[in-house]
Amino acid sequence: MTALKHYLQFKDFTREEYDYLFERTRWIKDKYKRYEPHHPLFDRTLVMIFEKASTRTRLSFEAGMHQLGGSAIYLNTRDSQLGRGEPVEDAAQVISRMSDLVMIRTFEQDIIERFAANSRVPVINGLTNEYHPCQILADIYTYIEHRGSIQGKTVAWVGDSNNMCNTWLQAAEVLDFHVHVSTPPGYEVEPERAGLYGTGHFQQFADPLEACKGAHLVTTDVWTSMGFEAENEERMKAFADWCVDAEMMAVAAADALFMHCLPAHRGEEVTAEVIDGPQSVVWDEAENRLHAQKALMEYVVLGRVEEK
Ligand code: CP
Ligand code: NVA
């Protein structure tokens, strides 16, 4: 039996696998735009488990699975036994006997790792406290669509060193680009995590303007991620100067893009002028969740498909 292809962190795949996935995403997207059906997952079932809220992730996985010929079932903590203390290992055994693929959005990374260890089918991370690999997959695809290869380029991350930031750091290692991170004091990338990325792909800056200098992509995210709501008030004060504005975009490369995984808070982590401005590609970025995850689902279930 071949090993299951789980996608729990960005570093689970190699650069060659990403090259394949980006090419496949383009092919799947083009076909979709021509209204040509593509049903490689006919009759397959995706189970989506949400322990946190979602608009884009639910929509893109559910619509994506239908478009690939299969069906998707939505479970949340409130209406299933998952919220009533059933061990994650037991849930994994049962859910994976009735489905072909599982996507989970949850809290600690450990939960999804334990689920995957007990699953008979591939498991995809739809966001944990630590990582959001599907989002970065779509973001890098979006960068490639607009500007070509990301290799050797610089991404400026302004704001919280959260699940998105951690995933950018992993991606920089796998795909060989640079990440400039600027966070308020006390919110820096954890030293153990930073230690993993000390090979020239990652640099921290106290001043967000410095982090943006010459960057090819400027990106940010909410000041308070899901699960950290109790810290909201103190974060609002601490992050006040970490708002991506026109001044930051002006010191970035002349053709720099702006991205945000959404949902966004205009006037907090980004000004309306930037997110609604000409350098912003946030709507393409959101749409590309659909196309990139269709390529991902096809890949983890069927492996490489060379259909042209
Ligand atoms: N970007 C993202 O994952 O959005 P949702 O929380 O709406 O799924
Ligand atoms: N960092 C955010 C991303 C939301 C898509 C969160 O975890 O809430």
- Read off the pLDDT of residues 84-100 as tens digits, 9 standing for 90 and up: 889 999 999 999 999 99
Q: Is the CB of 57 under 6 A from ligand 1?
A: yes
Vertex 182: Cα angle to 236 and 256 (nearest 5):
110
Indicate if 201 belongs to the active site.
no
**Does the annotation place 224 within a ligand binding site?**
no
Enumerate the domain spans of the chain: 10-132+288-301, 135-285
CATH classification (class only), 135-285: alpha beta
Determine the Cα–Cα distance for residues 62 and 66; give it in Å rounded to an integer.
6
Answer for the pair 123, 47: CB distance below 8 angstroms, yes or no: no
Atom 2, ligand 2: residue with shortest CA distance: 225
Is 135 touching ligand 1 by the criterion CB < 6 Å?
A: yes
- Of 61, 74, 71, 69, nearest to 290 by C-alpha is 61
Over residues 146-158, mean pLDDT: 98
Flag whether pLDDT at 166 surpasses 90: yes
Query: What would the CATH number be for the domain defined by 10-132+288-301?
Result: 3.40.50.1370
Which of the 8 DSSP states describes residue 84? G
Is 81 annotated among the ligand-binding residues?
yes
Considering just the CA atoms, what is the radius of gyration of the chain in Å? 19
Model confidence at 1, in pLDDT bands (50, 70, 90)?
low
Determine if residue 212 is labeled as part of a ligand binding site: no
Q: What are the structure tokens assigned to 132, written together? A: 């959001």
First to last CA, the chain: 28
Mean of pLDDT values over 280-286: 98
Question: With 60 as the cut, is the pLDDT of residue 118 above it?
Answer: yes
Listed in order, strand segments (DSSP E) in 110-245 are: 123-125, 154-158, 178-182, 202-205, 217-220
Determine whether 9 is an active site residue. Answer: no
What backbone phi and psi angles, to 5 degrees, belong to 30? -60, -40
pLDDT above 80: residue 307: no
**Helices (runs of H) and strands (runs of E) counted in the chain:** 12, 9
Query: Cα angle at 293 between 103 and 146, to 5 degrees?
Result: 145
C-alpha 79: how far from chain center:
26
pLDDT, position 197:
65
Give me the mean pLDDT over the 175-194 stretch. 91
Catalytic (active site) residue 109: no
pLDDT of residue 198: 62
Residue 225 parent element (H or E):
none
| pLDDT at residue 194 is higher than 70 | no
Give yes or no on whether 10-132+288-301 and 135-285 have one common fold.
yes
Say whether pLDDT at 308 is over 60.
no
For residue range 6-45, what is the model confidence (pLDDT) as tens digits?
Answer: 999 999 999 999 999 999 999 999 999 999 999 999 999 9
Q: Name the closest ligand to CA 136.
A: 1
Annotation says 44 is catalytic: no
